[in-house]
Structure formats: structure tokens, C-alpha cells
A and B are shown apart, each in its own frame.
Chain A
Amino acid sequence: MAEPLALKDHTWETRIFFRRIVVGFGVLVVLTLFLVARFFHLQIVQHDVYATLSDKNRIQVQSLPPIRGLIYDRNGELLADNSPSFNLTITPERVDDMPQTLARLAEILELSDEKIEAFRKRLKRRQRPFESVPLRFKLSPGEIARFSVDRHALPGVEVEARLVRNYPRGELMTHAVGSVRRINESDARRLDPVAYSGTDHVGTIGVERYYESDLLGTVGYQQVEIDARGRVMKILESDLPVPGMDIVLHVDSSLQQAASDALGDRRGTLVAIEPATGGILAMVSKPGYDPNLFVTGIDHATYASLRDSPDVPLFNRALQGQYEPGSTIKPVIGLAGLVTGMTNAQYTIDDPGWFRLPNNDRLYRDWNWTTSGSGGHGQVNLEKAIYRSCNVYFYNLAVEMGIDRIGNYLALFGFGVNTALDLPEAKRGLLPTREWKEDTRGLPWYPGDTVNVSIGQGDMLVTPLQLATAVTVIANRGRWVAPRMLKSGSDLLERSTVPQMDSIELIPDRVWDLIIGAMEKVVHRGNQVYGENGTAWAYIGQDIPYRMAGKSGTSQVVAIRQGEEYSEEELDERERKHAWFVAFAPVEKPEIALAVLVENGGGGSAVAAPVARAVIDHHLLKNTAAGGRVIAATEQ
């Protein structure tokens, strides 16, 4: 279509421009009148209201920090509450000479340069004018008394009572509950300044961290009139803070205590899970530390000694420790062999005590190769391979199956992923695959690698929590329950972003019967000829009043993954093998499943199994406080 002739029509243009300008200016006058009306409303109509607020007294908004939610164990025992602490705070606007005030304060109470520096940093982060900034936390009664004497000479300095986190069970629960710490600069950058105004602490580890948004509560405020000296004259309006939600954990303090006692002074860890729910009944990592130290600010020397200790007390072994699982994974490998048809209940090998891959000189030895007179375990079927922990049987089976199938079955039990719903620190471990080895080492997967994986050595790494979870799945005969700390009180659990696992289905009952039966024999098969008893029977199985299924493991040492350097004298002790034991009980209707690790403890059956027994005994036999079931000893 041809463009119609578009001559400029100056007359029209000028007229329309004139009209638009006039209309525009008219709107502008109306808007000006609107502003005048608005200011008239504020300054004349509402003048009295604002004049009262402003004239003699000044209006100020103060935040009212909420009370942090409490944490209970499953029996209603308090694991975390709040207790008063007296802080010294300064309102900079009311201080005439800050250096002089600080110097004067340093004379009457302990005030290191470090603390002054921290105070200056907090001062910079301050949100609003006339907001007081803490200088010292946790004043002693003596310090409060000395300050009161000099108070008249120190305008702008106040003693404020604040509620701070308190962990009544101290070190016992620290790795299970986590802890809060005082908000530091990097916290301040990521936290909402309004939600945290007036709050000094934030949950940074464990349950305290995961449930932070529910535990925190909602900040309140009050509008107050203050006089020129900063004293509150009248509360004009207030909105009370909403306390944080109280939450209840699955953890059982008395069981935690029993586990802690059973581990004693050894370095190690224990995770116990309730198979019906996935709830974590106990989670101990030793050594631990007193979380209360961190609440009111830990001094550099104490922190350094915790951080630099070769025993790494700050490290939660149950979640962050990644270890070779050793023979504890044999039941899973055996199950994979049965399901894939690579072996069956009857298939038997003759174990000479060693294994050799075709066309390879290297010998893979069984654990009793040197001690057994005949060498090896003789005639071994799958059941015996589990209760005697025969390596050679699994070497053969693993080479038959290949790493891909083994990996698929291990993955079904949660290895190589973190499945803990509300434990943000939990590590994933490592489930080695062909691709993983190609990517990280640039090497192909060798059959020898598969041989190592079959007995939980080599590249495979698990956390104690993962191992306890896998045992829980066995106890549940394939029904998946994700491990969790929370029993009730928050809906953040449902919003967890960890991968959701499926239950393992279509595995025939006879397969579970065989695997669980073999694990039962690890504990209960006794009074046989030499070399025919379950590996743990001699240590725990002789007088046990219920049926327990278990599996021992002994893994070669990998240095704890925190980059700590150990001193020479300690090398020997720390090169000893780690002792593992996994178990669940009662076999007929499992109520507890657990994994125990004693670092550098030696043999799993001798060292770790008694810890497992003590904890399960406590849970099933003594734990009346829990209101839980008590299995009478007479049942046996």
C-alpha cells in the first residue's frame, strides 16, 4: 500500500500542543494543590498528634526480641532453653566522649582490645539511631556492682538483661542439637536486619541451624516516648514479640547418655535410628565440646585449643566423618548377589584364604589368612560368608557382578547421597563408579577396584549416619525412612530439599530372611567348633536376652578429613584400624538400628560390638523413662 501523503499540519500541531500543555499544566496545579492538602492535613489537622509525639519528648521505636523456641527430647526433657544474661550496652548518641568512656569502663571491668574492636564492628552494623550496642556480654555480679557505683559518670551506658541460649546437658547433646553463636559480620550480611534486630544469636550448627526460622520467632517493637536523657517516659504503642516455636526431637537423652558412657573416652561415634520413623534416637560424636562456650562468646585461646586439637572435638564424626565401611556392607553386597542371580543360598566356594584375579599375580587375602591353621574359611556359602565375614566369597561374587551392578544396589541403600532431612552438615560419602574414577584420576576402573569395594575398602566412603540408615532399611526389609531429628513442632521438615529415596521393592522375603538370618548369626551363632561361631558371638552374644542382627567391620585408616596434622608420637595409635559394628534389634520387630565406630579401636566385633550391645540393652531393657517398651529378661 502506498504511503499516504503525510504533510506536517502545523496549524493542527500547534493547537493540539497548546491544548496538551494547558491540560498538563492544569493537572500539575491540581497535584500541587493535592500536596498542599497533604501537608495541611499533616501540619494543621494532625498537628496536635505529631506535636505531642515530638515536642517535649521524642518518639523512638525499640525492638523487642522474641524468645527463642525451646528444644525438647522425645521424653520432654529440655535440651535447649534460654537463661538471663547481663550485658553492658552503649547508646552512642548519649555518649559525649567515646574514647574516654571506654577507658573509664576498662578500669572497672575486664575489657580487652579484642572486645573493643568487636564493639566497634557492631557499632558500624547498627540499623537505627538511638539503638544501644552491646559492649560486654555476661557481666559478673561483681562487675555489675562496680559499674553501678560509677554509673552517674557514664551517660549512655546501661546494663541490660537479655535471654540467651542455654544448653542444660552441655557437651552430651552438642553434636545432636547443634548450637547458636553470636551474630558476626558475615552472618549480619546474610540475615534480615529487621527480623534480627534485638537478637544477638543465630543458629549455625545442626538442628539450631536447620530450624532457625521457626526457632527465632517474630520480633516485636514498641513506640516509646523518651526524654532528652533517653529514659522511657511512656509506651505509646507496642506489638509484642511472638516467641519461636518449640520443637521436639526424636533423640532420647538417656539413650544418648548410655551411648556416650559406652564409648567412654575413646574417639568414636554412634548413630541410633528408630526404624519405624527414621527418627534419630541418639547421635554421639566423641570427643565433643560444651556448646554453652559459644553462646556468650568464646575467647581466642579456648577456641584455638578446640580447633587445633588432634581429636577434632568440633567435628561431628556422625555426619561429617567419611570412613571406609569395611565389612559392614557385606550384607548389602550379598543381597545384590542374590537378587541379580549371581549367587544363591546353596552356592558354595572353597576358601583357601586368598583370592587372585585371572592373569594377575596380586593376592587378595582373607582376614584370617595368617591366623587360621588351614588358611581361609573352608567351605563357605553366603550365610557363612556373612557371619564369618569371609572376604574371598565376596571377592568372587563382586568380580562376577561387576562394579556397575554393585553400585546400583549400594545406591538403593542411600550410599553416595545425603538423605538426612534436617541435618545440613551431613556429608554424602563416596560411592565410586567408573565415571567418578575417570573424572578424578583419569584412570579406567580395574577389576581390583571392584574387589576392594566388595569388602568396603578402597575408594568407598560412608558417614556413620549413612551406615545406620542402610541398616535401618535392612531392618525395615526395604522400606525407606529418611533419617531425621525432628519429631514434631515445625513444618520445615516437609520442606527439606534432600533427595527423597524410594523404598526397595520386589525383593522376595526369602532374600531378606537369608540376609537378616545371617546377620542374626553374627551375634547369636555360638558354641560351635573353632571358626564356626558368629564373629561377634564371643564378645556380646552369649547372654543376650533378645534377638539382635549385626555385622562387624574393621576398616583401614583414612586420615580424618579435616586436614589436621598429627604429631609423630601419636602416629602409631592413630594408624590402627577403625572398629565398626552395625546392628538392629529385636529382629522380629526392630525398634532400634544403629552404627558404631570406634576410631583406631581395632577389631569391630571385639571393640565396637559391646558398645552397640550396651546401647541396645539400654533401649530395650532399661529405658523405662522413655515410657517405651520394656522387654522383660524373662522372655528369653
Chain B
Amino acid sequence: MSSLSNTLKVQTESANTQRKLLTVIEPKSGWQIIDFQELREYRDLFYFLVWRDIKAFYAQTVLGFLWAIIQPVLQILIFTIILGNVAQLSSDGIPYALFVSVAIIPWTYMSQTIGLSSQSLVQGGNMLGKIYFPRLIFPISPVLSKLVDFGISILIVICLLLYYRVAPTWNLLFFPVFFLLMISIPMGAGLWFSSLAIRFRDVKQAMPFFIQMLMYSAPIVYSASSIPETYRILYSLNPIVGVIEGYRACLLGTPIPWLYIIPGMITAAILLISGAYYFKRMERIVVDVI
């Protein structure tokens, strides 16, 4: 018997006067494509799940959304004192606090989202077995719900920019580019990790360590210019490097180092597309394995 996998074909019947949705359920082999129309049909569910994530995260806390500010502020403070003043890491002439804050904010978003997204299927296990809705919604919800935190914590950066009297430049027009790059990383990683995590709980064990190490792989607390010239392209294959360097350049007005951003963009695109395919392939066995 050939390899058993499943897809759901959805076609509309045009032969009869009544248009009814025809669903075919059967095992089918091969790689599947993402059904964007289905996702669009479920957009209300998307909205409410994201809303639920946001509300539940800060439920019954007194500080509520302030936590989105407090944590990064403390991090920036500690890094500035320890790494900026005591260890005196180079920051390319930019005040260290500003240097690190522009990087910490997107990093917080990405690291939190990768963690949540990778556990999304495991934690949603209860719902998975009781009702059908496009499974893609699970890893994508944290990507959207954490944007709220990101939006709030961006205020910190704006405050620091004002404090250090950094003038806006045309580079700001590229902000959407890096924003999209920033989103695509946890999305791609989340798709991969979540489909692996349902089968191999090792993912959960390794995640905190992995994220910690990942932080050092990008120029968050140190400057990318510290990396020797010969290794810089290799270094830039990490898309997080591209995000951090891109944000720094567009917010602080320094020239955008496209040479070191584009490799990361390519990696991110591959990660995202391959993640989507892998997820769809694993989607069908999720409920049986979880």
C-alpha cells in the first residue's frame, strides 16, 4: 500500500441549481498546498483566538499591559550597565542604551513568539481532537497576538530616540520591510517546531536553551562589526541578524547594510515556505499522535 496521507479537497458543485459545498475525505499521498480560502473563511476564529491569547496572558494581573514595557526596560537597563559600561562592548559609536533597545524589542517579540508557536499544537491538543478548523491557525495566532506587546514596547524605543535626539531619516520607509522579515522568522520557525513538537517532546526541552543561544547569534548586545569580515556573509545567513541590523539602520539613520541583510531574507523565505509544507504534511497525523 502506498504511503498514506490525507488531504481534503473542497469543490463547489456547479451542476445543480443549489450550490452546496462538497467535501471529499480520503487518504491521499504527497505534499499539500495551503488552502488560503479556508483560512479566510475562518478569519473570525483567528480574530477571537488572538483576542483570547492577549486577554488570557495578562488576565488578573494588576499591571496588565505594563508588563510589556517593564520587562524590556529592565533588560535594557541591565545590559546597558553591565555590558555597555562595565564590559564596554562596542556599539559603533551609538549610545549603548539606544543601541541595545532597538534590538531588544524585536528580539523579545521573536523569542516569545517562537516559544509560544512551537508549543501551540501541543497545548491546543484538547481542542484539536474535538473540532475541526484549519490547524495553521494554531502556530500563527501567537505571531499576531504578540504584536500587541511589540507595539506597546516600541514606545520605549521612541522615547529613547527622542531623548537622544535622533532625527528620522528616509530609512524609516524601510521599516515595513524589516517588520515583515521580523514576523516571518517566528512564523517559519513556529511552523517547523510546532509540527516537530507534537511528535518529539524534545523540542520543548531544547527550546529555552535554543532561544538563549540564539540571542547571541545576532548583534543584539554587541555590534555586528565585531564579526570578522570573512565570516560576515555566513553570519548574515541568520535572518535575525538581518532584522536587527535593519531595524538599527532604519531607526537610527545609519546606512542600511543590505549585503548583510539579504542572505537572511533568503533564509527566512526558505524557512517559511518549507515550514508551511512540512506543517501541512504533518497536519493530518496531529490528532493521532499528540
A and B: bona fide binding partners: no
